[in-house]
Amino acid sequence: MSSLRIPGLGPIVGHTADDCCRIWIRAGDPEDEKTDLSASRRTLGIITIIAINGKTVTDSPIYYFRLHREYDRTGTFLLGKESGIDSATDFQPLQADTKYTVRVATLTIDDPFPDDFMINDQELVSRLPDAKVWRDILLDDQQLEGVRSIAEFQTFPDANKLIDQYSFILGSCRFPGILWRTKHADRIFGPIARQVSKPSKKEPAPRFVLMVGDQIYADKLNRSVPVGRADTFEEFQERYQSAFSSLNMRELLRIVPQYMILDDHEIEDNWTQDRFVNGSKRQLFVLAMNAYMSYQWCHGPRTFGTRLYYTFECGGYPYFVLDTRTQRYLNTENKDLSENHMLGRPALGGEPNQLSRMLEWLLNQQNQRGNTPKFLVTSSVFAPNPIDAREKSSKCNKEESDSWPAYPTTKKVLLDYIVENNIQNVIFLSGDIHCSNVAQIIFSGTEEANNLRAFSITSSAFYWPFPFADGDPSNYVHDSTLENQQDTFDLANGVKMDYKADNFTQEDNFCRLDIDRNKQRLTVRAFDKEGNLIKEEMQSGKIKKIETKLKLAEW
């Protein structure tokens, strides 16, 4: 038996609700860096609350929890919902809208049965001292290196009440940098952390951070270039550990709830399911997913078991986070776009799939919450489309798009459903394209369709040092009704969808979204790597703030 150590990586504040919070760590024993799963040591996590609303707590329960070898010695504890592996310790639900400070540590024990992955909790607990013996160490800042073993978070408001105002952060695409520029990749997370840790009456702390893809770049240069390309588990592991241990990123991860979903660079550029199905990239996919589930999926909601897509809500506002990457099927044989599927193949026999679950969720939210904004998170941008992937141009190649234009069947099913069921205030949240912008989606053709309001908000990139290579605003449609940008999408019963996009910026950025129910408004602001509101100089010479105030349908 050894003493307590700080986590090797983490803590990360994950999925949070009004009565619980998921805390993630990775083992902190150098012995556990070994990839040999028969190593003769077993590592556990240990966690306790040390302060509530800033007031020190000295008698909170202390819990052991598992760090799983199959998840690279990582583990999560759902504080407020679990009682740890010691069944004698009862869990205590957390209180809504309350600030908690928790300390986590790791404990390594000799394992006489190192090959037994299925050792039960009762047998494991029998080898452990009562968790209370660790209280003095857990309350001692010096022994566990202060904030390096501390997570801080505020639980969400009462789930049964719709709050009037709150904010969250949206962003994506953190290129790791090369050589001396690796520190640049970490810079932007400093000002995000400051918005969390130093709020004001005018700018309250954001409730959570939503990272919508490319948290790592497994193929640092290109999937076809072997230099810097991850194709072993150790290389995927290194990408995550390097990204999540950088100074500013590590601070941000421990002080505010994080919601993540993958995009292509967690696997390789422009990933589609057919690469796995035909076997050419099966091993790569398995390695990438093992790493992704250990470092990103583990601390998120488990709404649909081990599926990667999930739902959550904050302050009465619902979110459906889509997996638009691992389930997308691209028909590469005859390039028939109607056979491409963004959210998996159509369900047969009535069983649910991602698309049917999302549609059911949208209808339930409209029926239960009325016009309350409904957020659909899609790593791939819903709107605007690239100029070379428009609907109405014979010169354009939609089949080569890595986004929604190449998947018109899924897109039409979703939009038809929104129109047919009069689902108001659908807001798409995206990343990917290294060019932030805001688009208003416009339906026309019937009176009901004319009154629908929907928007697409893109925030990208946290760090991308090559703006000359991609992301140029001129590469995207700004107004789909104009002749030289025509991109109208035809729906059922004569309804059409158009859009107008504005406030483009290629600067490294994150977006802050502020919801104001009293004003029926959603404000989107883009901030740069120093935390300043981005301003762009227009052709006319005028300076324009990258700030959009969206008027939503009344809710």
Confidence of residue 73 (pLDDT cuts 50, 70, 90): very high
- DSSP 3-state assignment of 343? coil
pTM equals 0.95
Higher pLDDT, 160 or 222: 160
Structure tokens at 172: 């994506």
Average pLDDT over the chain, rounded to whole?
91
Cα diameter, the chain:
74
Residue 484, judged by CB atoms within 10 A of its CB (0-12, 13-18, 19+), counts as exposed
Under a CB-based contact definition with an 8 Å cutoff, are residues 64 and 83 in contact? Answer: no
Predicted confidence at residue 542, as pLDDT, reads: 87
Confidence of residue 34 (pLDDT cuts 50, 70, 90): low
Amino acid at 510: F
Under a CB-based contact definition with an 8 Å cutoff, are residues 403 and 432 in contact? Answer: yes
Predicted confidence at residue 394, as pLDDT, reads: 58
pLDDT in tens, 89-145: 778 899 999 999 999 999 988 765 555 555 676 677 777 889 999 999 999 999 999
Nearest-10 crossing angle of helices 408-420, 354-369: 20
pLDDT in tens, 251-293: 999 999 999 999 999 999 999 998 888 787 999 999 999 999 9
Spatial distance between the Cα atoms of 525 and 523, rounded to a whole number of angstroms: 7
Confidence of residue 38 (pLDDT cuts 50, 70, 90): very low
Of 167, 211, 212, residue with least CA distance to 325:
212
Predicted confidence at residue 396, as pLDDT, reads: 61
Q: Look at 149-163, 220-234, 488-502 and tell me which has the smallest mean pLDDT.
A: 220-234
Of 430, 383, 403, residue with least CA distance to 261:
430
Q: Mean of the pLDDT values across residues 335-342?
A: 89
pLDDT in tens, 61-70: 999 999 998 8
Share of the chain above pLDDT 90, in %: 77
Spatial distance between the Cα atoms of 432 and 212, rounded to a whole number of angstroms: 8
Helices and strands, counts by H and E, the chain:
10, 24
Confidence of residue 23 (pLDDT cuts 50, 70, 90): very high
pLDDT in tens, 390-403: 986 655 667 678 99
Predicted confidence at residue 521, as pLDDT, reads: 97
Structure tokens at 60: 């909170």
Q: Mean of the pLDDT values across residues 73-90?
A: 85
Of 416, 410, 415, residue with least CA distance to 324:
410
Instruction: Indicate the DSSP class of residue 197.
Output: H
Q: What is the set of domains in the chain, with CATH numbers?
A: 9-154 (2.60.40), 165-551 (3.60.21.70)
Confidence of residue 372 (pLDDT cuts 50, 70, 90): very high
Provide the edge-to-edge strand list for the sheet that holds 454-458: 310-314, 317-321, 374-377, 426-430, 454-458, 436-444, 496-505, 489-490
The DSSP element (H or E) to which 536 belongs, if any, is: strand 535-537
Scanning 168-307, the segments in alpha helix (DSSP H) are 189-197, 233-245, 247-253, 274-277, 282-295
Burial call 40-57: b when 16+ CB within 10 Å, e when fewer: eebbbbbbbbbbeeeeee
Residues 6+ apart with CB under 8 A from 303: 309, 310, 311, 312
Give the C-alpha distances (Å, rounded to integers) separating 549 from 167, 512, 522: 14, 12, 6
Whether residue 318 is predicted with pLDDT greater than 80 in this model: the reply is yes
Whether residue 114 is preceded by a cis peptide bond, meaning omega within 30 degrees of 0, is: no
Residues 6+ apart with CB under 8 A from 469: none
Whether residue 479 is predicted with pLDDT greater than 70 in this model: the reply is yes
